[in-house]
Amino acid sequence: MLKTRVITALCLLAGFLAAVFLLPPAGWAWLVAVLSVIAGWEWGGFMKLSRNGRVVLGVMVGCLSGMTVLLFPAAMGGEGWSEALAWKFGRWLYVPAVVFWLLLLPCWLWRRWPLPGTLGGLLVGALVLFPTFLAFVQLRQLGPWTLVSILALVWAADVAAYFSGRAFGKRKLAPNISPGKTWAGAWGAVAGVLVYGFMAKIWLPVALQPNLPLFAAVLMLLTALSIVGDLFESLLKRQAGLKDSSNILPGHGGLLDRIDSQTSTLPIVALLWLYSAA
């Protein structure tokens, strides 16, 4: 199992780095749109849709993402790109997503609500998937290294949480949702992200770091949101009776298992950047 996880992780990392550094903006946008098909299909599993229903949902998500790339190239890194245009387009997705993650999700996790029916499940899926798709595309305009550095905030949180949780974890963070997570792991994640953030600050967007105290506050907020995103998917999987969002990545589950924390952090990073730049 460990060997499979390592091989898959190395293949994913190599493919991701090749795509983010070598593809042109349009190619990157179309790649993310294709991957959104998988994300939509996996979300259908959380909604307990039939096999055909999941396929239809995945195709719908992919078509909407592709239409966005095709119809709004200037907002997606294509010809005519500007941060002002990107903000005018992106705010309609980022603002609702940030409100969802900051205000609704803490209560959702506390009450452990299920997805509210088919229509509600589709609405929540739209709030989770489309802002993430857009953020992946738009944040690359800051440069490949910057996008990797932003994504690595979550990776740093995961690594620090794992080791601090194993070493000091006793008190469970959310035992009814994800029994493996502890408060020690959460505090370790905060510490890890702060250390990483200050080491990598030259590659992170200036909008995240107006001054050192606010930069530290933003890093802590992003860490908390990464934990919320992870817990939210864990709750959805538990309610749907799933171990993983899918099994397309041997040893790692599905696409949403790999980006669960990014769904809650990337939209707020993109919002802060574009709002400050517009």
Beta bridge partners of 182: 172
**Could you give the CA distance from residue 223 to residue 42 in angstroms, rounded to a whole number?**
25
Q: Which two tokens stand for residue 161?
A: 């949480």
pTM, two decimals, is 0.95
Beta bridge partners of 174: 178
**What pLDDT, on the 0 to 100 scale, is given for residue 213?**
93
Query: Between the CA of residue 260 and those of 84, 123, 210, what are the distances in Å?
Result: 28, 17, 27
Residue 44 · residue 54 · CB < 8 Å: yes
Which tens digit of pLDDT belongs to each residue from 14-69? 999 999 999 999 999 999 999 999 999 999 999 999 999 999 999 999 999 999 99
Q: Which two tokens stand for residue 124?
A: 């929540």
Domain ranges for the chain: 83-277
pLDDT tier at 5, thresholds 50, 70, 90: confident
Angle at 51 between CA 46 and CA 55, to 5 degrees: 85
Which tens digit of pLDDT belongs to each residue from 233-243? 999 999 999 99
**What pLDDT, on the 0 to 100 scale, is given for residue 207?**
87
**Could you give the CA distance from residue 128 to residue 137 in angstroms, rounded to a whole number?**
15
> How many CA atoms are closer than 13 Å to the CA of 41, on its beta-carbon side?
18
Which tens digit of pLDDT belongs to each residue from 105-138? 999 999 999 999 999 999 999 999 999 999 999 9
pLDDT tier at 2, thresholds 50, 70, 90: low
**What pLDDT, on the 0 to 100 scale, is given for residue 83?**
93
Q: Which two tokens stand for residue 128?
A: 């989770």
**Average of pLDDT values for 89-99?**
97
- Mean pLDDT rounded to a whole number for the chain: 95
pLDDT tier at 9, thresholds 50, 70, 90: confident
Percent of the residues in the chain that have a pLDDT greater than 90, as a whole number: 89
How many other CB atoms sit within 10 Å of the CB of residue 42?
26
